[in-house]
Structure 1
Amino acid sequence: MKTSLAIPVQKIEKSKIQETDFSNLIFGKTISDHMFVADYVNGEWTDLRIVPYGPLDLHPANAALHYGQSIFEGMKAYKNDKGEILIFRGDANARRMNESATRMCMPEIPEEIFMEGLLQLLDLDRNWVPSGKGASLYIRPYMFAMDNYIGVKPSDTYKFIIFTCPVGAYYSKPVNVKVETAFTRATEGGTGAAKTAGNYAASLFPALQAQREGYDQLLWTDGKSHSKIEESGTMNVMFDINGTLITAPTHTGTILKGITRDSVIQLAKDWGKPLEERFLTVSELQEALEDGSLREAFGTGTAATIAHIAKINVNGKDYNLPEKGPDAFSNKVLNELDGIKYGTIPDSRGWIVKI
């Protein structure tokens, strides 16, 4: 692996890997040995380093804790049958993180720092990348304000960190979802397109209510009329109606520009699948459920990859979706993406960086 930045490394005294049960990984619970850290001070990113994963020392007046300047990304690395590490579309995550940073009045992270920190961290902790179908190394880059000051203004200092978690499947079975028409996740002019912590905090209460009713996730609707489907809590969402794939557009600024979403759209175009990037109304969705024209619905996201939807609740009524055969588009696209990520299908689109 060629590197262009000399990043100092402080290795952990004793690895935790021998204590890790890779056959029983709970998503987000097991953390690898090291993390990459960089500090933004006096207008520049400095003090790049890789250190043992561990607690942070924060002042009680830390600006991120009080005013929410915090953004993050989610991405994955995989191991092929040769033992090589494959990173899926890391450059796209770097670009999206900088879009979030701009919206949240935070400094952009040079792509060289983002990618070099990531590559050198993964090379050091390569034994933490699990093998086998469905297993991967989840990667969490994030940045937050570091000023120790109680005052509503953009921070002058920030910290950027990348740590990793070996994980299994996010969803072990198809999910049940409920169309949300009371609470709002995002509105035009807000921060819906940014991957910022506050968006997720605002979604927790209504999502918890839905979970208590037996649903795994919500299908969020627009904040003005609650008449148009936007996205789900942890993923973008797509519908196959009469053979046409429909997914919400991202130009309104209320929907996250999902990397998996973009990948599925590219595959659909390559395969000649009819595609419409438009808002599906709640009434259209209910009509398609009732007349059987909705062939399938699924979520797309880094954690879930493709999450099949088994049941949708609309206006208080549950609708069960038909069983998906092996030829269903969602299964076809899942197999293609998994093949690219694990190196069993050639990467003809330049989506993979190999270590």
Structure 2
Amino acid sequence: MKEQLTIIENTNRKPRLADDQLAFGKQFTDHMFVMDYSIDVGWHDPRVIPYEPITLDPAAMIFHYGQTVFEGLKAYRTEDERILLFRPEKNFQRLNRSSDRLSIPTLDEELVLSYLQELLRIDQDWIPTTEGYSLYIRPFIIATEPNLSLAPSGTYQFYIILSPVGSYYREGINPVKIFVEEEFTRAVRGGTGMAKTAGNYSAAYIAQQRATEKGFSQVLWLDGVEKKFIEEVGSMNVFFKINGEVVTPKLNGSILEGITRLSIIELLKDWQIPVVERRISIEEIFQAHEEGRLEEVFGTGTAAVVSPVGELTWNSRQITINNKQTGELAKKLYDTLTGIQTGKQNDPYGWTVEVEK
């Protein structure tokens, strides 16, 4: 049964930055959604309240054992002023898979989607109208029990916060430079690589920092055992077009199951373009380039949608892909996905959900 949603309006509204002044994830809307969990009651007390700091006991278990999961999706404003979400049910399904892995109680996916839609109705004026901009949605769960015992928390809080954003990469749809990481490991099979949890990302900071200092936009991670097989980019899944066939690393328990990744695969199949999910080594990619068979490389994710890769550096070897130009397929995929997301193209797949005003 759906519990009554409490709404407390923010009477001190914040000024909005102009769209062209927005940096990714730096400004937040006037309200946020909160819901509590306890073992005796379960998930309860859903509420929309003014955006504000979170007050927690210093012994809250999130601080000590990192028991937390999160998601990322976007709301788009169409030219005719509708508000669209892109496959939001997939995000909440993945949030629950992440929660299972981190021993966090799962949510009722339909209920939290309805609560999200109410939050969006309240803060709908924050959704940018400029092309290429959107409202980023960050749902997350944290362990809140004040307890230093090494065991799952008995209490949690679920939040949704909203942030108007532009492009994730300064390059936009233009190709980025990627550094192949050999020293550090992001995740291994049996670990938490398939979950969206904080530790996966903070553990990657040192490699990302080194790559950034060398002028690269992102890190490409290899498998944690042999340091041979490609897994994913820091914030994206990755695809390679080789001799007309598109190849992406097979999900193996340490690779995040991206919603954009899934959508790309489904689009390619619908377009009758060969697409394969399999293990692929970094050596194979460099060999394909040497033989002139590597046509395109691109990453996919909620933040960037589709991001072409123009340069890969691995083991002091550097290759340039498609003359550092955006490939035809990457551009078509980007245009199609963003067209569906923003209502500029028909949605024959039923991927979008309209938020009633």
Unmatched 5+ stretches in structure 2: none
Label 1:281 to 1:19 Cα distance change in 2 as closer, same or farther (>3 A): closer
Rounded to whole Å, the distance in 2 between the matches of 1:254 and 1:23 is: 36
Task: Count residues in correspondence.
Answer: 350
**What secondary structure does 1:58 align onto?**
coil
Label 1:279 to 1:27 Cα distance change in 2 as closer, same or farther (>3 A): same
**Residue type of the alignment partner of 1:216:** S
Between 282-291 and 338-347, the greater mean CA deviation after superposition: 282-291
Aligned to 1:231: 232
8 A Cα contact 1:326 1:332, kept in partner = no
Aligned pair 1:34/2:35, yes or no?
no
8 A Cα contact 2:310 2:325, kept in partner = no
Rounded to whole Å, the distance in 2 between the matches of 1:5 and 1:86 is: 25
TM-score after normalising by structure 2 = 0.95
Aligned to 1:107: 105
**Alignment RMSD:** 1.3
Aligned pair 1:189/2:186, yes or no?
no
Aligned pair 1:161/2:142, yes or no?
no
8 A Cα contact 1:296 1:324, kept in partner = no
**Residue type of the alignment partner of 2:68:** S
8 A Cα contact 1:179 1:313, kept in partner = yes
Rounded to whole Å, the distance in 2 between the matches of 1:326 and 1:218 is: 19
Q: Of 79, 82, 89, which aligns to 2:80?
A: 82
8 A Cα contact 2:29 2:162, kept in partner = yes
Aligned pair 1:268/2:248, yes or no?
no
Q: Residues 304-323 of structure 1: matches in 2 within 5 Å?
A: 304-323=304-323
**Residue type of the alignment partner of 1:346:** N
Label 1:297 to 1:348 Cα distance change in 2 as closer, same or farther (>3 A): same
Superimposed CA distance per residue, residues 270-312 of structure 1 (whole angstroms, 9 cap, x where no aligned partner) = 0001111012111101112222211110100000100111110
Tell me the CA shift for residue 139 of structure 1.
0.2
Superimposed CA distance per residue, residues 309-336 of structure 1 (whole angstroms, 9 cap, x where no aligned partner) = 1110021122111147787111111110
Between 96-105 and 340-349, the greater mean CA deviation after superposition: 340-349
Rounded to whole Å, the distance in 1 between the matches of 2:274 and 2:92 is: 30
**What secondary structure does 1:190 align onto?**
coil
Aligned to 1:301: 301
Superimposed CA distance per residue, residues 75-107 of structure 1 (whole angstroms, 9 cap, x where no aligned partner) = 001000111110011000010000000000000
Unmatched 5+ stretches in structure 1: none
**Residue type of the alignment partner of 2:51:** Y
Rounded to whole Å, the distance in 1 between the matches of 2:311 and 2:151 is: 44
Aligned to 1:70: 68
Q: Residues 171-186 of structure 1: matches in 2 within 5 Å?
A: 171-173=169-171, 174-186=175-187
Superimposed CA distance per residue, residues 12-58 of structure 1 (whole angstroms, 9 cap, x where no aligned partner) = 11211x34222211000010110010000124111110000110101
Between 140-149 and 38-47, the greater mean CA deviation after superposition: 38-47
**What secondary structure does 1:23 align onto?**
helix
Tell me the CA shift for residue 5 of structure 1.
5.5
**Residue type of the alignment partner of 2:262:** D
Superimposed CA distance per residue, residues 228-254 of structure 1 (whole angstroms, 9 cap, x where no aligned partner) = 00000001000101111010111x200
Q: Give the percent of matched residue pairs that are identical in Structure 1 and Structure 2.
A: 42
Aligned to 1:150: 148
Aligned to 1:53: 51
Rounded to whole Å, the distance in 2 between the matches of 1:10 and 1:27 is: 27
